[in-house]
Chains A and B, each alone.
Chain A
Amino acid sequence: MKAITANIGYFFKETFTILKLNKLSNILSLLSITLAFFLLSLVVSTWLISTEMVEVLQQEAEINVFLSEEADDSSRYEMAESFLEIEGIQASRVVTEAEALERMENILGEESEVLTYFDENPFESFVEVKVDFEQVETVKESVSAYEDVRYVRDHQEVLDQIRNISALQRFLGTLFIVAAGTATLVIISHIIRQGIYHNRQQINTLLLLGAPNFFVALPFVLSGLVLTLAGGLVASLLTRFTVGLGYAQLVTPIPFIPLPPQELLVRNTTALILGLSIFLGLSGSIMGIRSSRKEESL
């Protein structure tokens, strides 16, 4: 341990000497690692977004009950009251035509001008029913049995589609982690092997002087770590920029999509990428050193 703390400066100096020795090869490796991490972070970001969407939609599971035209206001309120007795219903209230219009205006924001082109309010009154997500189907059946109920709208189809997309993205994300991880491991281990080959005389001298293995190996481990961390950092910066761009494109035209907070998304993705880059950098370097040991008696 003493030998490590006393030589920290030396280890970093050696690390950069090793990296400088194969400049072109290291730059190309850095680009490949950055690209792999960037693609991975994009897949992970979309996976996190769709997961958030599913969660939000599940929490806000509701059905909208539209009554027949014959039903007057008092029967609407009575019915909303009676829905509360059905198991699985948490809340029930009447949304008037005016409130429905106001909601849409809020959702559309600056674009709500489009609603002024209608001569009269295009929305109709309905009963908004908050439901336990697990009981949507049974609630829907019970509500539909009421005489004045004309139509029950739920978000099950949308939710199912988003859930399918989320599952696909989870699969792709896992696949990408495995692919990017394997590619990074191969690249780093190859780079380390190359570094060891180019420095074999120095390594041999150190071993003849009695240097412990960790002393000889540490600069190589650090050089692998520096490469993956640099790749991870650049990929994280690119992700921050891309997510920012994506949010700007999504939030304005489709404001009702329940996106996770941008900062949280970027922070989580960055943490994952940097964590992975440290893990892969260390593992790749150790793999490279181990395979070189067999050939170079390191």
Chain B
Amino acid sequence: MITAKNLSLQYPDGTIALNEINLHIKAGELVYITGPSGSGKTSLIKLLMGIEKPTAGQLEVLSHSMNRIDVKNRMFLRQYMGPVFQELKLINGRTVLDNVILGMRFLPIPKQQWKTLATDALEKVKLSHKILSYAENLSWGEKQRVAIARAIVRRPSLIIADEPTGNLDRKNAINILELLNSLRQENTSVIITTHATHLIDSKLVDQFIQIAAGQLEAKSMEEF
């Protein structure tokens, strides 16, 4: 599903974000990526989503080579992803329901199912009571859950969640992590970047990866 070989990313100003990393993630795996701020976590997500192109090495995501991907294929690839952005990227002036439905509008999901699927997704993140609230009127934690609902409603092959529990209380954070974990049953791979390692149920995790200064290191749960 995802294979990186000697993958590097260097920004135009010379900063080396990732340096010759190797990675292999199979379908249905749950992978946690941790590391201090500026270590390269977000850069790795940018590469996986095709926002940046590798400057060296090889990266393959869902059978697409990210080294050579064109705009059309990148768009197509992203339709198979469920991204949860750190800055959430909800649309203000639209209701919670509209925001969740927005993620499905251009996918091959029948229009008749949009509302039901969105309502189900919002129920899973415990936000069904806020369905008609406007995005800008929600707390950051609630917004985070809407962003997660928007990602899972698309029934993606790959979930990429950048700090999805960052502003949630313990109870909601555990609920979200359990929810993301449950998606594996549908063979969805889940990649989560987080600082909140204390909330992770180690029995469920397939890979722990730590990034430090652009270098990647696989670790056991006990080492965190």
Interfacial residues, chain A to chain B (CB-CB below 8 A): 2-3, 6-7, 10, 17, 201-202, 204-213, 215
B16-35 interface bits toward A, Cβ cutoff 8 Å, 1 = contact, 0 = none: 00000000000000000000
For A205, the closest partner residue in chain B by CB is: B89
Contact A209 B102 (CB under 8 A): yes
- Complex formed: what's the CA distance from A210 to B71 in Å? 10
Determine whether the beta carbon of A210 is less than 8 Å from that of B77: yes
Q: Report the stretch among B5-13, B103-111, B172-180, B191-199 that lies at the interface.
A: B103-111
**A2 nearest CB across to chain B (Å):** 8
- Cβ of B79 under 8 Å from chain A: yes
Q: Using a CB–CB distance below 8 Å, which chain B residues touch chain A?
A: 49, 51, 75-81, 83, 85, 89, 91, 93, 102-103, 105-108, 111, 150, 154
Residue contact A210 to B79, C-beta cutoff 8 Å: yes
Known A-B contacts: A209-B150, A210-B81. Give 15 more (CB < 8 A).
Answer: A6-B105, A7-B106, A10-B105, A201-B89, A205-B89, A205-B91, A206-B102, A208-B49, A208-B78, A208-B83, A209-B102, A210-B80, A210-B106, A210-B107, A212-B75
B103 close to A208 (CB less than 8 A): no
* Distance of A202 Cα from B103 Cα, bound (Å): 12
A-B contacts, 17 of them at CB < 8 A, read A6-B105, A6-B111, A7-B105, A201-B89, A205-B89, A205-B91, A207-B75, A207-B78, A209-B83, A209-B150, A209-B154, A210-B75, A210-B79, A210-B106, A210-B107, A211-B106, A215-B106
Chain A residues lying within 8 Å of B103, measured Cβ to Cβ, are 209
A209/B93 in contact, CB under 8 A: no
Number of A-B contacts (CB under 8 A): 47
A-side contacts of B83, CB under 8 Å: 208-209
The interface residues of chain A lying within 8 Å CB-to-CB of B111 are: 6
Cα(A205)–Cα(B105), bound, Å: 13
Contact, CB under 8 Å: A3 / B105: yes
A3 CA to B76 CA in the complex, in Å? 14
Query: Could you say which residues of chain B place their CB within 8 Å of the CB of A204?
Result: 89
> Does B51 contact A210, Cβ atoms closer than 8 Å?
no
Query: Is the CB–CB distance between A3 and B106 below 8 Å?
Result: yes
Chain B contacts for A7, CB-based, 8 A: 105-106
The CA-CA distance from A246 to B89 in the complex, in Å, is 57
Closest 10 CB pairs of A and B: A210-B78, A210-B79, A205-B89, A6-B111, A215-B106, A3-B106, A211-B106, A202-B91, A210-B75, A7-B105
B150 contacts across to A, CB distance below 8 A = 209
Q: Which chain A residues lie closer than 8 Å to B80 at the CB level?
A: 210
Within the complex, what minimum Cβ distance (angstroms) separates A204 from chain B? 7
How distant is the Cα of A211 from the Cα of B106 in the complex, in angstroms?
6
Instruction: Please report the C-alpha to C-alpha distance between residue A202 and residue B51 in the assembled complex, in whole angstroms.
Output: 16
The distance in angstroms between the C-alpha atoms of A143 and B83, with both chains bound, is 92
Q: Which residues of B contact A202 (CB under 8 A)?
A: 91
Instruction: Give the chain B neighbours of A207 by CB distance below 8 A.
Output: 75, 78
Report Cα–Cα, A7/B107, bound state, in Å.
Answer: 11
Chain B nearest CB from A29 CB (Å) reads 22
- Most central of A2, A3, A6, A215 by chain B CB within 10 Å: A6
CA distance A202 to B135 in the complex (A): 13
Could you tell me the distance between the alpha carbons of A210 and B8 in the complex, rounded to whole angstroms? 25
Which residues from A are CB-within-8-Å of B51?
208
| A6, A205, A207, A213 — most chain B CB neighbours (10 Å) | A205
Q: Which residues of B contact A210 (CB under 8 A)?
A: 75-81, 106-107
Nearest-CB residue, chain B, relative to A20: B93
Residues in A whose Cβ lies below 8 Å from that of B107: 210
Query: Which residue of chain A has its CB nearest to the CB of B93?
Result: A17
Interchain CB contact under 8 A, B75 and A211: yes
Cα of A213 to Cα of B83 in the assembled complex, Å: 19
The interface residues of chain A lying within 8 Å CB-to-CB of B106 are: 3, 7, 210-212, 215
Q: Compute how far the CA of A201 lies from the CA of B76 in the bound complex, rounded to whole angstroms.
A: 20
